[in-house]
Amino acid sequence: MIPYGRQDIQPEDIDAVLSVLQSDFLTQGEAVPRFEQALCELSGGQFAVAMNSATSALHVACLALGVGAGDWVWTSPNSFVASANCALYCGARVDFVDIDPQTLNMSVSALAEKLKLSAGKNQLPKVVIPVHFAGQACDMAAIKKLADEYGFAIIEDASHAIGGRYASGEKIGACCYSDITVFSFHPVKIVTTAEGGAALTNRADLAEKMRLLRSHGVTRDANLMTQAPDGAWYYQQIDLGFNYRMTDLQAALGCSQLRRLDAYIAKRHEIAVRYMDALQDLPLTLPSFDAASALHLFVVQVEERKRVFDALRAAGIGVNVHYMPIYRQPFYQRFGFSPADFPHAEHYYARAISLPIFPKLSAGNQEKVILELKKALSA
Ligand SMILES: *Cc1c(COP(=O)(O)O)cnc(C)c1O
């Protein structure tokens, strides 16, 4: 089976992990700060807090911004469930904003309309979480403008988008339009640490809070304590945190992977251009992306999706669907969402198929995908 996404592990990655294995610290050593430094350098964000997943990073990002019971958090329905679950972990309520049929990202006009309606009902969101779907940046300048007007904070879910840029040219992770930006390092994403994630921010207070929350709410910083330390052994728990730490094994793998980030993105663009060229005359909708996309996914939309999907799977192509709208998940049905409120997410979900795209996809295997898709569409 040709998968839709797959990690690339080189000998230098293995060497990097082995050297941590043979060192004094498997966790809480020097590799995590080194990885955080590398993330800041590549994205332009001032502070990076590495964690054991993007899900954990989204959770502590919400907490750092004060999300709690009675608050609303809005996100895109066209995302992985973690983009919404993070708000529920904090006791907040979740709502969704329909997508733009072109970019498949949160629609700015739908957001503006929903904000206007919600202002009247005193139900404005505390935080909005735009998701850079497939690696294509949301219209962050417009979302930031609405944030200033309506007073909400922004967490960018950039799980698909490390190495990408905004329309304005700034790098994703620079947090020039948001309070916090979250990356994922799951093996199907752009670079991997096996499991792992990170939160980037330019605000020292948010970075400090997220560092505290990723490690039990415990501090050794005397400035944060309620009294002078009793001695050199002394630490205090000053908040209710978690164990969301990344290990040094993972961070060393991440540092090694980041050296190939630009090459990975270039390779994804090569593959995407080949698809665009080979599929242009077929009865399907091609994705719209620009030169600054990280191209985590390559999604086409077809009629008779189920038949085409099954034919591709039967031919050994590991196609996938990203995503069933989150409000359609059985767990979310208790909140009473109505699919009719999200016509573009519905229309997209009925037609979407993610084709294989990853740096090590061979030209031969991509030709096979193209051939099988042509066959399925003409059947
Ligand atoms: C993968 C993903 C996550 C969760 O990432 P983990 O690192 O697996 O926790 C969150 N949001 C989106 C959009 C994702 O694709």
Place of tokens 């339009």: 177
CB 156 within 8 A of CB 172: yes
Pocket test for ligand 1, best of 80, 83, 156 (most atoms within 8 A of CB): 80
Predicted confidence (pLDDT) per residue in 271-299, tens digit: 999 999 999 999 999 999 999 999 999 99
Predicted confidence (pLDDT) per residue in 75-127, tens digit: 999 999 999 999 999 999 999 999 999 999 999 999 999 999 999 998 999 99
Pairing assessment for the beta strands 180-184 and 153-157 based on DSSP bridges: parallel
Q: Which whole number is the average pLDDT over 169-177?
A: 97
C-beta 354 within 6 A of ligand 1: no
Percentage helix, strand, coil for the chain under 3-state DSSP, each rounded to 5: 40, 15, 45
Nearest protein CA to atom 5 of ligand 1, as residue: 54
- CB atoms < 10 A from the CB of 35, how many? 27
Distance 19 CA to ligand 1 centre (A): 28
Which ligand 1 atom lies nearest to the CA of residue 322?
15
Distance 184 CA to ligand 1 centre (A): 6
Which ligand 1 atom lies nearest to the CA of residue 131?
13
Annotation marks residue 189 as catalytic: yes
Beta-carbon contacts of 300 under 8 Å, excluding residues fewer than 6 positions away, are 279, 284, 285, 286, 287, 352, 353, 355, 373
Distance 127 CA to ligand 1 centre (A): 18
- CB atoms < 10 A from the CB of 22, how many? 7
Q: Which whole number is the average pLDDT over 211-239?
A: 96
| Model confidence at 379: pLDDT above 90 | no
Beta-carbon contacts of 231 under 8 Å, excluding residues fewer than 6 positions away, are none
Place of tokens 């192509």: 317
Band of pLDDT at residue 1, cut at 50, 70 and 90: very high
Which pLDDT does position 370 carry in this prediction? 98
Which pLDDT does position 355 carry in this prediction? 98
C-beta 4 within 6 A of ligand 1: no
C-beta 80 within 6 A of ligand 1: yes
* CA–CA distance, 46 with 212 (Å, rounded to integer): 17
Pairing assessment for the beta strands 236-237 and 298-301 based on DSSP bridges: unpaired
C-beta 78 within 6 A of ligand 1: no
- CB atoms < 10 A from the CB of 275, how many? 20
CB 102 within 8 A of CB 138: no
Which pLDDT does position 322 carry in this prediction? 98
Band of pLDDT at residue 141, cut at 50, 70 and 90: very high
Residue 321 exposed, middle or buried by CB count within 10 Å (0-12, 13-18, 19+): middle
* CA–CA distance, 104 with 106 (Å, rounded to integer): 7
Closest CA to 29 of 344, 250, 301: 250
CB 125 within 8 A of CB 95: yes
Which pLDDT does position 184 carry in this prediction? 98
Which pLDDT does position 195 carry in this prediction? 98
* CA–CA distance, 43 with 50 (Å, rounded to integer): 14
Which pLDDT does position 69 carry in this prediction? 98
List the structure tokens of 353: 């198929």
Closest CA to 158 of 102, 233, 79: 79
* Mean pLDDT of the chain, nearest integer: 98
CB 368 within 8 A of CB 317: yes
| Model confidence at 349: pLDDT above 90 | yes
Pocket test for ligand 1, best of 4, 51, 55, 106 (most atoms within 8 A of CB): 55
Q: Which whole number is the average pLDDT over 344-352?
A: 98
Band of pLDDT at residue 335, cut at 50, 70 and 90: very high
Beta bridge partners of 184: 197
List the structure tokens of 208: 């400090």
C-beta 53 within 6 A of ligand 1: yes
Question: Can you list the alpha helix ranges (DSSP code H) found in the chain?
Answer: 11-21, 31-43, 54-64, 82-89, 108-120, 140-150, 204-214, 248-258, 261-279, 305-314, 343-349, 363-378
State if pTM tops 0.85.
yes
Which pLDDT does position 218 carry in this prediction? 98
List the structure tokens of 255: 């540092």
Give the active site residue among 114, 126, 171, 189.
Answer: 189
List the structure tokens of 193: 């640490």
Predicted confidence (pLDDT) per residue in 317-330, tens digit: 999 999 999 999 99
CB 59 within 8 A of CB 51: no
